[in-house]
Structure 1
Amino acid sequence: MKGVAILGATGSIGASARAVLRQHPNRFHAVALTAHRNAGALRELVAELHPSLAVIADAPVPGDLPPGRTEWRSGRQALLDAATHPDADIVINALVGAAGLEPTLAALRAGKRVALANKESLVCGGPLVLEAARRGGGELTPVDSEHSAILQCLSGTRAEDVRRLVLTASGGPFRAWPLERIGAVTPADALRHPTWNMGSKVTIDSATLANKALEVIEAHFLFGVGYDRIEAVVHPQSIIHSMVETVDGSVLAQMGFPTMEIPVLYALTYPERLPYEARRYDPVAGGPLTFEAVDTARFPAFALGFQAGRAGGTAPAVFNAANEVAVAEFLAGRCTFPCIAEAIADALDRWPNGPVDTLDDVLAADGWARRATNDFLNQLAPCS
């Protein structure tokens, strides 16, 4: 039986992971669970899954815990201890944002398989993550549906036979809105995703297509493919999760109704497969399938992220941090939807890019971008 640590157990990926564990209780068991601040939700999960360690990353441990075998801890070191738990064979990193990088590095250095839903780990610290896996003997398996699809399509395909990767994007809720209406978008509008049920940060990123830019950068590091051979296409039905074109012109696609449970399961079992009860794909009910080019005038954050990926170094970390700050401000009602891309552009324009040699390089770029983005947004009332 494999021991599993779930970082971010109370979020949407955590819910999918718990569903997987319930269907295969003889193959997987939870040894560590973490939450950001939601102690109440974590308490319920502890009562269900009985891990040996429960961690509240950014809040104190509740004072009225019932007796039990679960140790409760809080803080950064406790989170890292969950990521390196001696009984964890697999670490599901479902943390949100750049905060997921350090636990990814720690788990890989400890030789764990990291089922990675925290794309920011590779976006901000790709070279560090790959080096940690090499030195520590750890392994990365993707949880994002797009990268899981690519991993499945690459099965049996030599690296030199890959011509290009094509990531699909739903286009979010504003794909067909007139451009003049985008400035009036509210957080409630942006949180109404047409096909996926995700946390608020990822849902806003899907509405701006910043999420797809992050996934392009992630794919570059995961699969060792240059940016000139990675593309994105809007696919509103979210049935085809990504495609791989080979040098002979064949195109391989992984398909299915939207669910994160199947990618989570595959990340745990790769390269094997286990039976799983989920909604089976019906090609009649799932059709017709349509595709559109990414409109960078409608989705400027996508173009900015692609630009940051090509620039390399610390530019992707700056892109990510500026986006995180701007999305938080938009959700709080303190800036407009177009402000998100404007703030990212400002940060990238002003950052003197440099290499990623150490974690401190990433943290310096991240900290600078957060301060610069806050300053930029505070000067605008409101953004245009």
Structure 2
Amino acid sequence: MEFRDPPHAAPHPARRKVVLLGSTGSIGTQGIDVVDAAPERFEVTALAAGGNLELAARQAVHTRAQAVGAAAGTVDDLATAIKTAAADAGVSGYSPELFAGPDAAARIAAWPDADVVLNGITGSIGLAPTLAALGAGHVLALANKESLIAGGPLVKEAARPGQIVPVDSEHSALAQALRSGTAGEVDRLIVTASGGPFRGFSKEQLRAVTPAQALAHPTWDMGRMVTTNSATMVNKALEVIEAHLLFDVPLDRIDVVVHPQSVVHSMVQFIDGSTIAQASPPDMRLPIALGMGWPERVPGAAQPCDWSQATSWTFEPLDEEVFGAVRLAKEAAARGGTFMAVYNAANEEAVDAFHEGRIRFDQIVETVAAVVEEHAPSGEPTVATVLAAEDWARSRAHERLAML
């Protein structure tokens, strides 16, 4: 997928119309922060949430979104929540179009009055909305890496050149650094990792990790699934595969380096020996703003580094003997087909089992490896085969988890 500027980036609307998917999550709420801070650049025209109807309703009233969707509850439930939120805010006459149910996010993603869709949904349930946004011709600011992981060939086939703009901090950094040279001048991509809360741990130490410890990330404030994935390095593994799919760089030319300070978000090494790094204090509002405004930057989106203060940055190799998730993902991705969909689905089931106290922390990646090894793909990936592979992976993971 060649990374270019969006086809209609220049000239672009003076005020971009934004659709928020996963509006009540970390990415979605920070997306609203970005819109509030730059009302001359952005407006929210539609939003979709999961199950937090009260917050979604308050967001809808605040943004005056034309359309609102929720995966949980009914249209009547959503209408009641919005009516209450409007009354609390002293707003009258607000009556957006409403959608509810499992297809609500996909319908919102295709909302016609939009320039860019920010997909901040967590998990592979973001695949249908991703395809819907691309099918509607919108620029997709993608924070939902799982939809690209699970449906890689489908997403790449659906996307026009430049239609997908990455929002993960690492891929935003790579996109920015890649503007320093041509595709033929790229030698390697270097994806940075904070190391999570268990940097330096041994395999034996990982056996005793508790759910509370796994959620104590030293840098980022994320939801349960993403934070746990960061602790196991599965999140970094998914980011490596995402970088491969976004930028068409072979897997053996994408490296992971541990950088605990999380200031350098990723780097591109060029064939002449130059390495271009993107650095900023850890703040997701910067890549969110850049994703919604690409290729133009949004002034004041986040605070810059303070170069008047002494500071040190460190880098160290990833211990793949202890944290094998990245190597496992590269092997699965190299096998193609639906292997990465299986990897992701099995991991989601194992993470839930860990937090429910049914397995040890180190058994998360062990379960993923076992399920991936058993997978026997059938035919070329389609939406149906991807969903079937995920269903199989979840079922098989359940069976294996029950035996642990």
Alignment match, 1:129: 155
Alignment match, 1:300: 324
Once the two structures are TM-superposed, the CA of residue 355 in structure 1 deviates from its matched residue by 5.3
Report which stretch shifted further, 113-122 or 71-80.
71-80
Which one of the candidate residues 259, 265, 271 is aligned to 2:289? 265
Distance 1:297 1:283, change over 3 A: farther
Contact 2:233–2:323 (Cα < 8 Å) also in 1? yes
Alignment match, 2:23: 9
SS at match of 1:189: helix
Alignment match, 1:100: 126
Alignment match, 1:21: 35
Contact 1:257–1:286 (Cα < 8 Å) also in 2? no
Instruction: Determine the C-alpha separation between the residues in 1 that align with 2:279 and 2:369.
Output: 34
Alignment match, 2:264: 240
Q: Which amino acid aligns with 2:123?
A: G
Q: Which amino acid aligns with 1:124?
A: A
Q: Which amino acid aligns with 1:258?
A: P
List per-residue Cα deviations over 1:133-176 (Å, max 9, x = no partner): 13xx8710000000000000011411000000000000100113
SS at match of 1:30: strand
Q: Which amino acid aligns with 1:46?
A: A
- Name the count of aligned residue pairs: 378
Once the two structures are TM-superposed, the CA of residue 64 in structure 1 deviates from its matched residue by 2.6
List per-residue Cα deviations over 1:209-256 (Å, max 9, x = no partner): 000110111011100111111111111110100000111010000001
Once the two structures are TM-superposed, the CA of residue 76 in structure 1 deviates from its matched residue by 2.8
Which one of the candidate residues 220, 223, 228 is aligned to 2:247? 223
Once the two structures are TM-superposed, the CA of residue 277 in structure 1 deviates from its matched residue by 4.7
Q: Which amino acid aligns with 1:271?
A: P
Residue 327 of structure 2 is aligned to residue 325 of structure 1: no
Once the two structures are TM-superposed, the CA of residue 44 in structure 1 deviates from its matched residue by 1.5
Alignment match, 2:72: 58
Distance 1:249 1:6, change over 3 A: same
Alignment match, 2:10: none
After the TM superposition, list the runs of 4 or more consecutive aligned residues in structure 1 that deviate by more than 3 angstroms: 283-286, 353-357
Unpaired segments ≥5 residues, structure 2: 1-14, 84-92
Alignment match, 2:394: 370
Q: Which amino acid aligns with 1:116?
A: L
Which one of the candidate residues 210, 213, 229 is aligned to 1:186? 210
Which one of the candidate residues 71, 76, 79 is aligned to 2:105? 79
Instruction: Determine the C-alpha separation between the residues in 1 that align with 2:125 and 2:109.
Output: 13
Instruction: Determine the C-alpha separation between the residues in 2 that align with 1:180 and 1:357.
Output: 38
Instruction: Determine the C-alpha separation between the residues in 1 that align with 2:156 and 2:283.
Output: 28
List per-residue Cα deviations over 1:276-318 (Å, max 9, x = no partner): 1522212464731111111122212222112212222111111
List per-residue Cα deviations over 1:24-70 (Å, max 9, x = no partner): 11221111111111111111211211101111113334263416222
SS at match of 2:72: coil
Alignment match, 2:224: 200
Residue 328 of structure 2 is aligned to residue 314 of structure 1: no
Instruction: Determine the C-alpha separation between the residues in 2 that align with 1:242 and 1:156.
Output: 14
Once the two structures are TM-superposed, the CA of residue 122 in structure 1 deviates from its matched residue by 1.4
Distance 1:185 1:208, change over 3 A: same
Contact 1:314–1:355 (Cα < 8 Å) also in 2? no
Alignment match, 1:43: 57
Alignment match, 2:374: 350
Contact 1:127–1:356 (Cα < 8 Å) also in 2? no
Report which stretch shifted further, 186-195 or 291-300.
291-300
Identity score, percent = 46
SS at match of 2:297: coil
Distance 1:356 1:303, change over 3 A: same
Contact 2:202–2:322 (Cα < 8 Å) also in 1? no
Report which stretch shifted further, 60-69 or 167-176.
60-69
Once the two structures are TM-superposed, the CA of residue 184 in structure 1 deviates from its matched residue by 1.4
Residue 398 of structure 2 is aligned to residue 379 of structure 1: no
Contact 1:128–1:356 (Cα < 8 Å) also in 2? no
Instruction: Determine the C-alpha separation between the residues in 2 that align with 1:94 and 1:107.
Output: 13
Contact 1:3–1:28 (Cα < 8 Å) also in 2? yes
Contact 1:114–1:138 (Cα < 8 Å) also in 2? no
List per-residue Cα deviations over 1:7-31 (Å, max 9, x = no partner): 0001111122111101111221111
Instruction: Determine the C-alpha separation between the residues in 2 that align with 1:270 and 1:229.
Output: 26
Unpaired segments ≥5 residues, structure 1: none
Contact 1:164–1:246 (Cα < 8 Å) also in 2? yes
SS at match of 1:45: helix
Distance 1:43 1:59, change over 3 A: same
Instruction: Determine the C-alpha separation between the residues in 2 that align with 1:353 and 1:255.
Output: 40
RMSD: 1.6
Instruction: Determine the C-alpha separation between the residues in 1 that align with 2:379 and 2:262.
Output: 36
Alignment match, 2:87: none
Contact 1:115–1:141 (Cα < 8 Å) also in 2? yes
Q: Which amino acid aligns with 1:185?
A: V
